[in-house]
A and B are shown apart, each in its own frame.
Chain A
Amino acid sequence: MVYLDHNATSPPRPEVLEQALPYVHQHWGNPSSTHSAAREPARALDTARARVAAYVGARPRDVVFTASATEANHLALHGRRALVSAVEHVSVFGAAGTWPRIPVRPSGRVSAADLAELLDPSIDIVSVQAANNETGVLQDLAGLAEVVHAAGRLLHVDAVQVVGRLAPSELEVADLVTLSAHKAGGLKGAGALVVRRGGVQPLLSGGSQERGRRAGTVDVAPCVALGVVVGLPLPRFPELGGLARTVVALGGRVTAGGLPNTLHACFDVPGDAIVMGLDLLGVCVSQGSACSSGASEPSHVLAAMGLDPRSGLRVSTGWNTTTADLDALADALHQVVPRTREALG
């Protein structure tokens, strides 16, 4: 199997498993307990917390571990009136209600002027992702933060796709930051919200874990994994230029991106037909999000950019991707795209 869907999730890195797995089968204690079985898990959680804090230049106490990035996004926006961009992850939409969205330009980027125009006095918090999971487009966080902070509002940044892809320096302007590691060799089951400023209103209450900001026994192993991943040097992603040339040669258009691991393309046939054809050849890529039945959803990201919401194809590489993987994808595309076009064009 050739796996090129790291923006959905990625295989755990060996060094991550080595450090995290002992907290499943050996140091299984509850880190909140008062006895000695808690000592090692609590220590590991401290270390992970410190690493996550250091990653974004915050204090360890600012880090709230959650069970997912979705939960972290909800925690950031809970009880607040949020203004969010039109290309956010659906979990942000779920947390933000149906207020107007900040539009994006055809480039996929939010303009500071559009943001300023929509930033009315009722808004408590603005949420803009660092990098888009479908297109890889990066937002100008520094420019947007200036507008938000000049108005005295909070800025939340969903930075899930930055982890293991880019240096986190831009995240320092954010008041709240969502992170997770399973798309970069970590483990599913943990996310984190870094709360530098503004506090949060808990979603889950009743336990004093995470300083009362998130009740519930902490799953130590994936938190350890998150700490390990944010401390690792960035992988060297294989060059995507050759694949882009293949896409163009097959009549596709490469969407402007930004993440070094993501190539997004639009074809003149439904993207899900290409995804299925590639899957039969053992190549895993995707369109973006899937619904509960497993069908690809029309992309709100492409729609916001003025593109056909069904035409997209996302290739995302990861820490273990080789140029041979990309060659296999290119070969498969040569088989699948013309056949799909002949049948559906």
Chain B
Amino acid sequence: MRIVVAMSGGVDSSVTAGLLAEQGHEVIGVHMKPHDADPEQAGHCCGLDDALDARRVADRLGVPFHVIDLREAFRKAVVQDLIDTYVAGETPNPCVQCNGVLKFRVLLARAMALGASHLATGHYARIREGRLLLARDAHKDQTYFLFPIALGALQKTLFPLGELTKSEVRVHARRFGLVTAEKAESQEICFLPDHDHARFIQREDGRDAAGEVVDQQGRALGRHDAYYRYTVGQRRGLGVSAAEPLYVHHVEPDTRRVVVAGRRHLLSPGLVADRWTWHERPSPQERVTVRIRHNGRPVEGHVGAGQAPVIRFAEPAWAVAPGQAVVVYRGEMVLGGGWIRSSLPAEVA
């Protein structure tokens, strides 16, 4: 098969290319250039050094390699979404946006244009009978970031690392003699090399974002310099002291207030989510597994009806953050995912 491999310049996609080439497939390496991150601060995802690493790996494997400039699409689908979501007082998930719009739509189309049957990436997830499944290495599983892939696109997608652990991947990387074998993971938002999203949003949005830190009764406890620095469940950086530890309960963009509360006030019996991608919609009676963040324990729950269904949890979940993704599973199979609009208040339960 002719397979286009999305090569970020990291170890995972490098090994993906190596394994497929070893299996005798005609591999074409493609690196997408999403942004102009300062090359001096590269070492995060998809900077110039990563493009050069990806090229070195492709050379080592003896496969053709191309760089595709997707800066315009990335700016529109990922960067602007991040700005808009933070300004709206919510917590964006740029990686899901990047996967859903860029990798498994734009890049997949580019792979088809090159006459490939499939696009392969180095994600940790499995595809079986056209459905998306958890990776065998549960610690590395990335299905939370992959739910926007449409079923049709899934049929043209390969995740060769889905059956491997990270350490097995590094063993392969060394075996192939790849320069990326010992490369560190990239975890931060790739286009913000200084990790300071608030400064970036301030520059892009320009409006004053400073305001008060208040408790649930509206009493001022302190001040902050930008409300979009705060996300639900955050404790650090509040600059307030109280008898019990306080966490961000929610953010009010209109008043620029950051509302804090004690830990138990952040428990929620459910959420409302919209903009769903369904691979298979569960009936409201089915008890499903729900992930409201990449890390941490999933919760059990039921998905209601409608375009923006209510998901009710079997037990309250902590710190449901509007703007984040929610992904619904049946066992190890992804049924679908959407975007959290709001958490249900505790008294409704």
**Hey, which bits of chain A sit against chain B, CB under 8 A?**
269, 272-273, 276-277, 279-280, 291-298, 339-340, 342-344
Q: Say whether B48 contacts A340, CB under 8 Å.
A: no
Which B residues lie within 8 Å of A295 (CB)?
33, 51, 67-69
Instruction: Give bound CA distance, A296 to B68, whole Å.
Output: 7
Given A280-B28, A280-B64, A294-B66, 14 other A-B contacts at CB below 8 A?
Answer: A272-B66, A272-B69, A276-B114, A277-B114, A277-B115, A279-B66, A280-B115, A292-B39, A294-B65, A295-B33, A295-B51, A295-B68, A296-B69, A344-B110
Which one, B28, B48, B65, B68, contacts A292 given CB within 8 A?
B48
Given contact pairs A294-B66, A297-B69, A277 touches B48 in the complex (Cβ within 8 A):
no
| Minimum CB distance partner of B52 in chain A | A293
Instruction: Name, among A296, A298, A343, the residue most crowded by chain B CB atoms within 10 Å (CB to CB).
Output: A343
Task: Give the complex CA separation of A228 and B12 in angstroms.
Answer: 50
User: How far in angstroms is the closest Cβ of chain A from B227?
Assistant: 36
Within residues 26 to 40 of chain B, which ones have a CB less than 8 A from any CB in chain A? Answer: 28, 31, 33, 39
Q: Which residue of A lies closest to B69 (CB)?
A: A295
Alpha-carbon distance A323/B109, docked complex (angstroms): 33
Give chain A nearest CB distance to B333 CB in angstroms.
29
Distance from A195 Cβ to chain B, minimum over Cβ atoms (Å): 35
Chain B 105-130, CB-CB to A under 8 Å as 1, else 0, gives 00001101111000000000000000
In the assembled complex, 12 residue pairs joining A and B whose CB atoms fall closer than 8 Å, in A order, are A277-B113, A277-B114, A279-B66, A293-B67, A294-B51, A295-B33, A298-B69, A339-B113, A340-B113, A343-B110, A343-B112, A344-B113
Q: Which residues of chain A have C-beta atoms less than 8 A from B69's C-beta?
A: 272, 291, 295-298
B256 contacts the other chain (CB 8 A): no
Q: Which among B51, B113, B115 is the interface contact of A293 at CB below 8 angstroms?
A: B51
Given A293-B33, A293-B52, A294-B51 in contact, is the A343-B67 Cβ separation under 8 Å?
no
Q: Which residues of B contact A296 (CB under 8 A)?
A: 69
**Known: A295-B33, A343-B113. Is A272-B48 also a contact (CB below 8 A)?**
no
B55 interfacial contact with A, CB 8 Å: yes
Residues of A within 8 A of B112 (CB): 342-343
**Contacting residues, chain A, for B68 (C-beta < 8 A):** 272, 276, 295
Tell me the nearest residue of chain A to B30, going by C-beta.
A276
**Chain B residues with Cβ under 8 A from A280's Cβ?**
28, 64, 114-115
Known: A291-B69, A295-B33, A295-B69. A273 touches B113 (CB 8 A): yes
Chain B residues near A277: list those with CB within 8 A.
Answer: 113-115
B67 pairs with A339, CB closer than 8 A = no
Chain B proximity of A341: nearest CB distance (Å): 8
Interface centre among B28, B39, B51, B67 (most CB of A within 10 A): B67
Task: List, in ascending order, chain A residues with CB within 8 A of B109's CB.
Answer: 343-344
A residues within 8 A CB of B52? 293
Measured CB to CB, the closest approach of chain B to A58, in angstroms, equals 40
Q: Which residues of B contact A340 (CB under 8 A)?
A: 113
Q: Is the CB of A293 within 8 A of B28?
A: no
Please, how many angstroms separate the alpha-carbon atoms of A297 and B69 in the complex? 7
**How many Å from the CB of B61 to the closest CB on chain A?**
16
Write the B49-82 contact mask toward A (1 if CB under 8 angstroms, else 0).
0011001000000001111110000000000000
**How far, in angstroms, from A294 to B28 measured CA to CA in the complex?**
15
Query: Is the CB–CB distance between A294 and B110 below 8 Å?
Result: no
Q: How far is the CA of A187 from the CA of B110 in the complex (A)?
A: 36
Chain B contacts for A272, CB-based, 8 A: 66, 68-69
CA distance A280 to B68 in the complex (A): 15
- B10 CB to closest chain A CB (Å) equals 15
For the complex of A and B, list the 4 residue pairs with the smallest distance between their C-beta atoms, beginning with the closest: A343-B113, A343-B112, A293-B51, A295-B67
B220 CB to nearest A CB, Å: 47
The minimal Cβ–Cβ distance linking A300 to chain B, given in whole angstroms, is 14
- B245 CB to closest chain A CB (Å) equals 45
Output the nearest chain B residue to A275 by Cβ-Cβ distance.
Answer: B66
B108-167 contacts to A (CB < 8 Å):
109-110, 112-115
Q: Which residues of B contact A297 (CB under 8 A)?
A: 69
Q: Which of B31, B69, B110, B115 has the most CB of A within 10 A?
A: B69
